[in-house]
Amino acid sequence: MWLLAIVPGSAVLAMASSGSTMDVPAVVQDGIAAVASKAGFKKPRFHIESGSNAGDGYTSIIYRAIIHDEDTTGADEMRLICKTTLSDTGNMVHDFLFDAESVLYSTIVPVLMDVAKLKEPLPWPKCFHANTTSARPCLVLEDKCVERFRMANRRVPLDEHHARHAVTQLGRFHGATMAMALQRPAEFDALADRLTAPYRTDAVRTFWKSWMLVAEETPAMMLERYPEGTAAHAKVKRFFSTFGDKYFSELMTPGKGVGNSIMHGDCHVNNMLFQYDEAGAVTGCCLIDFQTARFSHTALDLGTLLLSCTEKAMRDRHWDDLLKHYHTVLQNTLRDAGIKDPDTVYSWDQFVARLGDMAGFGLFLTPLLVHGMGADEEQVKELQSSCATVLSEDDPAATAGVFKIKWTSEVRRRVGDVIDDVMRWGWM
């Protein structure tokens, strides 16, 4: 999930152990061994490293594993990422986040690949093993580092090249889930419901609300740009005082409707890997961290990505192209799935209208994300401890306002630029 994922991805390898295994949870060891056996290793040797710094993992711990075959006639080396919960004590938030990600990788992805005939590079990492029955769930995924994927610098807003690769994979993902809804409706409905059910519970809604409340001070923080008494101030104020309710009543768990499907739910730069060539040019993108995948408005994903993770100068030049590209990729994915007229599923006009309806979410998240992405070490520590607090609370209601946005000039400028765009496009 978005806040909880801010740091782990940028983590440097904290430690490496030589020898066969370090002290890792049994479920991780079992998972790696299961993958080795399935992949045909004859005499596997395991090297396991911590993939996250101490304190980095908010909802999860990451291990990196290398499997090497001492028998030279055996399988080729494999590099894996293993993701498990911080502890096995169980917690409402851990449970539904891990359940969603496991269901997505192990059950939904194979159907998407089949329905939409997706070819590599896939929009997500391959999953080799998912253990959801253990008290401590575990996912074993391919390590995309092998193919030169890594996190982008979270402090740098997406340029048009990064944004284009990101919307390509988002368009393929959304197109594939829309195709699945049409072609395997019963299966789709059951899985969508499993992902979405937690969001209808009071506990999860309250948890979510505590994060969104943090942004409500935005109008008060933007008085220099939108002074009291101006029409713009009134609009901003009305928007920020009503959007939260609109989000919870209409947007978070909507019913069926045009553009609604299984979506990522937390679609920003820290939940993506980018691939770079030797010269440093970006050549691909891979969506990761599907812990908040659910049935909702796909336009929430695109709006978050293109409003919260970009600069106005880039949007001014490339906005229309990026939207066209996303929509084209989505429709091509529907065509590959055998849908002859994708306009009957999601036409350009429908898409643009949905994006406008959802733009508020990207705007609402912008102060939070810009704060999080620009956080210095001190602020990262603060975010980590507030996340730890949230996750250790039995009562999510107790966690409201656990951290404060630092309204630097950078945060104000980025937020104001998004407000200006959203107003100019008639979306506020």
Binding residues vs ligand NAG (CB under 6 A):
26-27, 30, 34, 131, 133-134
Nearer CB in complex with ligand NAG: 36/287? 36
- DSSP element (H, E) containing 368: helix 348-373
Minimum CB separation from ligand NAG for residue 189, in Å? 26
Which phi-psi region, left, alpha or beta, contains residue 204 (left: φ > 0; alpha: ψ -120 to 50)?
Answer: alpha
The residue with tokens 């009543």 is 249
Contact present, 248 and 199 (Cβ < 8 Å):
no
Minimum CB separation from ligand NAG for residue 139, in Å? 11
The alpha-carbon radius of gyration of the chain (Å, integer) is 21
3-state secondary structure of 69: strand
Minimum CB separation from ligand NAG for residue 129, in Å? 7
Quote the tokens at residue 76. Answer: 């080729």
Nearer CB in complex with ligand NAG: 18/133? 133
CB-based contacts of 107: which residues, under 8 Å, 6+ apart? 191
406 burial type by CB count under 10 A (0-12 exposed, 13-18 middle, 19+ buried): middle
Minimum CB separation from ligand NAG for residue 11, in Å? 25
Instruction: Single out the residue of 97, 159, 136, 147 nearest to residue 292, CA to CA.
Output: 97
> CA 7 from chain center: how many Å?
13
Minimum CB separation from ligand NAG for residue 290, in Å? 20
Nearer CB in complex with ligand NAG: 134/275? 134
- DSSP element (H, E) containing 83: strand 78-85
Nearer CB in complex with ligand NAG: 64/129? 129
Nearer CB in complex with ligand NAG: 9/137? 137
Nearer CB in complex with ligand NAG: 41/295? 41
Nearer CB in complex with ligand NAG: 26/223? 26
Nearer CB in complex with ligand NAG: 26/313? 26
Minimum CB separation from ligand NAG for residue 49, in Å? 20
Minimum CB separation from ligand NAG for residue 178, in Å? 31
Minimum CB separation from ligand NAG for residue 58, in Å? 23
Minimum CB separation from ligand NAG for residue 224, in Å? 55
Nearer CB in complex with ligand NAG: 99/393? 99
3-state secondary structure of 357: helix
CB-based contacts of 169: which residues, under 8 Å, 6+ apart? 123, 272, 285, 286, 287
CB-based contacts of 282: which residues, under 8 Å, 6+ apart? 152, 161, 162, 165, 274, 275, 276
State which amino acid sits at residue 225: R
Query: What is the distance between the terminal CA atoms of the chain, rounded to a whole angstrom?
Result: 26
The residue with tokens 């395997």 is 184
